[in-house]
Amino acid sequence: MAKEIHATIPEGDLKDKWSNYKAHAKLVSPNNRKKLEVIVVGTGLAGASAAASLAEMGYKIKSFCFQDSPRRAHSVAAQGGVNAMKNYQNDGDSVYRMFYDTLKGGDFRSREANTYRLAECSASLIDQAVAQGVPFGREYSGYLKNRSFGGVQVSRTFYARGQTGQQLLLGAYQALMRQKEQGNVQLYTRHEMLDLVIIDGKAKGIIARNLDTGEIERHGAHAVILATGGFGKIYYLSTLAMGCNASAIWRAYKKGALMANPSWTQVHPTSLPQSGPYQSKLTLMSESLRNDGRIWVPKSKEEQRLPGEIPEEERDYYLERKYPSFGNLAPRDIASRAAKEQIDAGKGVGALKNAVYLDFSDAIKEYGQELIAERYGNLFTMYQKITGIDAYKEPMKISPSAHFSMGGLWVDYDLMTSIPGLFAIGEANFSDHGANRLGANSLLQACVDGYYIAPYTLQNYLADQIQVKKTDVNHPAFTEAEEKVQKQLHHFINQKGTKTAEEFHRELGKILYDKCGLSRSEDGLKIAISQIQNLREDFKTNLLVPGDVEDINSELEKAGRVSDYLELSELMCIDALNRNESCGAHFREEFQTEDGEAKRDDKDFAYSAAWEWSGEVSSPILNKEVLKFEFVQPTQRSYK
Amino acid sequence: MNSFSLLSEAINNRIVMKIHLKIWRQKNQNTKGQLETYTLDDVDAEMSFLEMLDMLNLKLAKQGERPVEFDHDCREGICGQCGVMINGIAHGPLKNTTTCQLHMRSFKDGDTIFVEPFKAKAFPVIRDLKVNRSALDEIIAAGGYISVSTGQAPEANSILVSHEEAESAFDSAACIGCGACVATCKNASAALFTSSKISQLAKLPQGKKESNKRTVDMVNRMEDLGFGHCTNTEACQVECPQDISVLNIAQMNYEYNKAKLVK
Ligand SMILES: Cc1cc2nc3c(=O)[nH]c(=O)nc-3n(C[C@H](O)[C@H](O)[C@H](O)COP(=O)(O)OP(=O)(O)OC[C@H]3O[C@@H](n4cnc5c(N)ncnc54)[C@H](O)[C@@H]3O)c2cc1C
Ligand code: SF4
Ligand code: FES
């Protein structure tokens, strides 16, 4: 029997909940704050903004990332923009509308209170970023500019050319470096968290490996925040960076933190297609391109002509045809599935027939090449660098690719996991996007979690820790965790098998794309589970990791990440199998409407599945957080 | 969906090259390094440069040898983590391109390619092609920010920034912190990197207030960290993947002199 869990949502009307919370949250007096230490793992938008904000308040912060500088966290790669409710365009936007768009975009599978808070706090983020010097796009008058993004009918997206993530991250990174200079933050770059340490039921520290030396280190604190980003890299080919991983959250899961809706992965419709078997990652082309680009495939499977030679009437602008009111701006899950449908039907384009066209010729005719270049110039340049093709002259070829993890560590309204003192923010948690995330909402979520929520909720927790002494890293819990980590690393090295971690990872990625990707079925998922189990068995004895543990060793780093992926992937399949409905990005072939759209089952599945570690990878325990819709009535999502 | 079934077909149509590599191998900062020679027979022209190194590393691992350590993460030209000298040029032969965005179609069958780390006094080698660039973070820590804490910000549209100012600030802000400018400079100066941040913030109304202090602190820190002096050779902009303009250096000098006058 599944247990029911609750999220400690404050009382009151939707619009009062967060102010009520803040009005009653416990505080720590300024002179006590410097005695309290907080570990923040991750320096992306979520981690850097939380670490900087908490340090500004006076807490002592230890900040970790695996890259060589905090500025390189994968938030840096976000191109398109960040949403915020400013209603600068006077086009009818409001906090409620933004909340509703997000909830509906997520196919009514997120928590009302959290989603509302995201919209409510969004405006402050833009204020903060502008004050930090983020060079957002401006009108000639000097006012901020906006664009529209998939899945909504207002323009609430702010952007800094095609580098919104980079520019927002630099703002947060610079705030972090300012606090480092003031002595409030200790930076641990090139460090990877390999375990969570729990003492008396509370999160008290981490075990980390110094990637430059191989040394295993113990770090204690009064609370731990995980801001370790998404795990879409589990599909091997994805839009994520090579080092993105699930290790921090997975190891926290194995220490008792619940993992929610792990199978909900957003597959982005506009990435570049795979070009060969050696390929290591896929590059995203910002979804903002869909504002001006038209998506189509040839009507005939046999089509051999160049795109420019195919007459209008022999093209199928399938999104415009199927979803007339949203057209090319249909939400991502819908756009990706529609592309897959065309590709599976043999109408894909390109050498591998694995892509669809994204065509700018009409936009260039209407607005001129100069304006299109101003809007998307760097994306066109990037496209040319990667493919060698000039997209001003011929359409881009795009294809769906694994992109964003809606699932992640389960958190309550305070963004605290089921382990007291362990918080999860940004993409690492599961909270705000339901079964599908709207474009430009996740930079927002990472920032709102880090700048505006964690500083309050963490303080509320820390208020009870003032009397608690500094964590002793010689506590047996640290020794035990460290020994476990050491043992695993030596096991990887000592196998001396024949397959590298990368080779295992590629195989896993293929299984997941085929059976737990855009489309899932009971049979497929069952096969996937047994394939993953076999792969995991092989990984136990046949892994090849050259080099040593106590040394710099990239292959060893990969082995740890792949090892966790080989376990998490099974949980993803179990989660997808459990959910006998289709919602958002989770499309179960058995559950679809007559015209092939996702068919939700609100009676049986209006809950978040929060899985609990049982000691065995294959038999997790299901907990349910029932989603109560008090303020909004879920409807059938339609973008037609 | 990226289909796997057609991959074999692609394999038949591809252009395959033989590539000789001379790669810098160095155990750590305290040992001497040297160039080692490797040959790959099966390099696909559509591979990225880093995928070619992946291929080499796979081969080395299978032979029981240590793979080549190199830095990379996003592999899409934005995080600034990758970066090596390729035939003596930072990030290789293409203009305004990071190492990760370079593809093997830029080389020919039979080519010999020299691959070395970014070398500079302030960038000690960690292993092989990996260097420590944390000095760049230290320069930012010295003052590369607007001192505004969370919660202090006024309403965003109360700070007007003209379109031209915003675009120009963006041009400076586009630096990805890769360090190619330093590696390329015969004086190992970080002037391009440092000046891009100084000018970005000086161009914006909200950043002007602190400009004097920021400029002096960052420039002093840059010198303390062992970076050389800029002698205006302008080699940095040529190899900068973001095409950061040397005009930023001129603006830094202007801001610096202005700050000194005020003092
Ligand atoms: C290509 C791309 C484009 C995108 N475009 C947009 C967009 O236009 N708009 C939008 O809203 N969203 C976009 N997104 C999504 C958005 O960028 C991310 O969801 C968001 O930036 C995540 O931020 P984060 O702080 O949670 O994680 P990240 O920025 O990924 O940071 C994770 C941090 O955790 C650290 N870390 C991870 N594991 C460990 C470990 N085990 N030990 C130590 N440190 C660890 C890393 O070093 C890093 O510092 C995009 C995503 C991608 C991939
Ligand atoms: S100025 Fe250019 S070369 Fe120098 S660090 Fe920045 S992006 Fe790299
Ligand atoms: S790997 Fe990120 S810029 Fe090259």
Torsion region of A92: left, alpha or beta (phi above 0 gives left; psi -120 to 50 gives alpha): left
Q: What is the mean pLDDT of chain A?
A: 95
Residues 6+ apart with CB under 8 A from A56: A175, A179, A184, B149, B150
Q: Quick one: A484 and A613 in the same domain? A: yes
A457 is a domain residue:
no
Q: Are residues A511 and A386 in the same domain?
A: no
User: Which of A363, A386, A402 delimits the end of a domain?
Assistant: A402
- Are residue A484 and residue A619 in the same domain, yes or no? yes
Q: Which residues contact A540 (CB under 8 A, 6 or more apart)?
A: A495
Chain A residues 526-545 within an 8 A CB cutoff of chain B = 544
Residue A174 at interface with chain B, using a CB cutoff of 8 Å: yes
Task: Render each residue's pLDDT in chain B as its tens digit; 263 residues.
Answer: 344 444 445 445 678 999 999 999 999 999 999 999 999 999 999 999 999 999 999 999 999 999 999 999 999 999 999 999 999 999 999 999 999 999 999 999 999 999 999 999 999 999 999 999 999 999 999 999 999 999 999 999 999 999 999 999 999 999 999 999 999 999 999 999 999 999 999 999 999 999 999 999 999 999 999 999 999 999 999 999 999 999 999 999 999 999 999 86
Residue % of chain A over a pLDDT of 70: 100
> Is the CB of residue A221 less than 8 Å from the CB of residue A37?
yes
A205 vs A10: CA distance, rounded Å:
29
Q: What is the pLDDT of residue A365?
A: 95
One domain, residues A285 and A392: yes
Torsion of CA B228, B231, B237, B242, to 10 degrees: 40
Across the interface, whether the CB atoms of A500 and B58 are under 8 A apart is answered: yes
Nearest to B140 by CA among B110, B179, B114, B109: B179
DSSP assigned state of A434: T
A569: CATH = 1.20.58.100
The interface residues of chain B toward chain A in range 93-112, judged by CB-CB distance below 8 A, are 94, 97, 101, 103, 105
In a domain, A109, yes or no: no
Active site residue A332: yes
Check pocket membership of A322 for ligand 1, CB cut-off 6 A.
no
For an interface test with B, give the residue of A127, A343, A384, A493 to mutate (most B CBs within 10 A).
Answer: A127
**Could you say which of A332, A561, A579, A588 is catalytic?**
A332
Degrees (nearest 5) of the Cα angle A130, A132, A133?
65
Q: For residue A462, is it within any domain?
A: no
Give the pLDDT score at B263.
66
Query: To the nearest 5 percent, what fractions of chain A are helix, strand and coil?
Result: 40, 15, 40
Q: Which ligand minimizes its atom distance to the CA of A71?
A: 1
Q: End of a domain among A402, A435, A454?
A: A402
Hey, what domains does chain B have and what are their CATH numbers?
Answer: 10-127 (3.10.20.30), 133-262 (1.10.1060.10)
Give the model confidence (pLDDT) of A307-331 as tens digits: 999 999 999 999 999 999 889 988 8
Residues A484 and A616 in one domain: yes
pLDDT at B14: 79
How far apart (Å, rounded) are the C-alpha atoms in residues A525 and A573?
A: 6
Q: For the domain that residue A349 is a member of, what is the CATH number?
A: 3.90.700.10
ipTM of the complex model: 0.95
What are the helix (H) ranges across B91-204?
A: 134-141, 163-173, 180-184, 191-203
Question: Which residues span the domain enclosing A525?
Answer: 476-626
> What's the DSSP call for residue A628?
P
Q: Which ligand is nearest to the CA of B176?
A: 2
Residue among B78, B136, B58 at smallest CA distance from A554: B58
- Look at residue A606 and tell me if it is in a domain: yes
The answer to whether position A549 is within a domain reads yes
The residues near A184 (Cβ < 8 Å, ≥ 6 apart) are A55, A56, A58, A59, A60, A61
Same domain, A483 and A357: no
Residue among B100, B118, B242 to mutate when testing ligand 3 (max atoms within 8 A of CB): B100
Per the structure, the count of domains in chain A is 2
Residue A638 belongs to a domain: no
Round to whole Å and give the CA distance between A75 and A169: 7
The model's pTM is 0.96
Q: Is B42 on the interface with A (CB under 8 A)?
A: no
Calpha distance A204→A255 (Å, rounded) = 12
pLDDT of residue B2: 42
Residues A395 and A494 in one domain: no
Residues A508 and A390 in one domain: no
Q: A367 and A483 share a domain? A: no
- Identify the segments of chain A with pLDDT beneath 50: none
Q: Which of A369, A402, A435 is the last residue of a domain?
A: A402
Residues of B in contact with A181 (CB under 8 A): 141-142
- Residue A352, pLDDT score: 87
Q: In Å, what is the CA distance from A453 to each residue of A203, A238, A416, A424, A449?
A: 19, 29, 11, 11, 5
Q: Give CA–CA dist A65/A78, Å, rounded.
A: 18
Residue A563 inside a domain? The answer is yes
**Within-domain flag for A180:** no
Contact state of A53 with B46 under an 8 Å Cβ cutoff: no
Does residue A573 share a domain with residue A484?
yes
Whether A395 and A485 share a structural domain: no
**Residues A397 and A493 both lie in one domain:** no
